Amino acid sequence: MAKKKSKREYVWLECRQCSSRNYRTSVSVAEGTPKLELKKFCKNDRKHTAHKIRRK
Ligand SMILES: [Zn+2]
């Protein structure tokens, strides 16, 4: 199984409003854990909210 050695980790994007995990994405962890918040559309809130990265 060929696997790249890039330091990427799959994380969840969790809505700050309703705490539902709406998106999965990968982030680079080469320089420590990124503290990111992204504006994403939440289907529960039916609007764009801030989503924070949640490592599993
Ligand atoms: Zn939400």
Tell how far the Cα of 45 is from the centroid of ligand 1, in angstroms: 5
Assess contact for 36 and 16: CB atoms under 8 A: no
Mean pLDDT, consecutive 10-residue segments, the chain of 56 residues? 74 95 87 78 97 87
Tell how far the Cα of 54 is from the centroid of ligand 1, in angstroms: 14
Q: Say how many C-beta atoms besides its own lie within 10 A of residue 53's C-beta.
A: 18
Nearest to residue 49, comparing CAs of 26, 20, 27, 24?
20
Paired sense of beta strands 37-42 and 47-55, if any: antiparallel
Assess contact for 13 and 53: CB atoms under 8 A: yes
- What does the pLDDT read at residue 4? 64
> Per the structure block, which two tokens stand in for 9?
């980790």
Supply the pTM of this predicted model.
Answer: 0.73
- What does the pLDDT read at residue 26? 87
Tell how far the Cα of 35 is from the centroid of ligand 1, in angstroms: 19
- What does the pLDDT read at residue 52? 94
- What does the pLDDT read at residue 33? 65
